[in-house]
Structure 1
């Protein structure tokens, strides 16, 4: 039977341009994903540290005004809770000393 060959020619330039565009899009999506993850991490960090520190600031202001009767839930990390407990203990001791004096 007849035999033959068919050659198909397609330049590689459009394929290479398309591949380069796809690589750029993938890099852009990865960068966007990393930025979103970083922002989310900062948000979580601020909720766990900044908010409890603000609660401690309010507590020290109450102590300065002589109003520290209620218990506050500062939340956050363990060290901040320990600081709050130490502050509360200090207040109780100051009040006890004040009552003894007068």
Structure 2
């Protein structure tokens, strides 16, 4: 059961490294290990991402949308390969076993 009172909000991010996508929840200001899920070599669909968040014990905050940011692998080098980072606000829910 998802408890509204115990929900805490965080930012989930997804990035690709060496051709594989990784989704993780940034647990800032905690000593907890950041939960993560690794995907294969195809870009995860919206449903894939939502399901992975659920397995990790999180769900998108109502009304939140994925945002995409382009970065470079080597800061300040315009010839550096592009790194895509997606982010969404999520909330934890009770009843999750880590």
Question: Which protein is richer in strand relative to its size?
Answer: 2
TM-score, normalized by the shorter chain, greater than 0.5 = no
TM-score by length of 2: 0.21
TM-score by length of 1: 0.20
Q: Work out which of the two has the higher radius of gyration on C-alpha atoms and give 1 or 2.
A: 1
Question: Which protein is richer in helix relative to its size?
Answer: 1
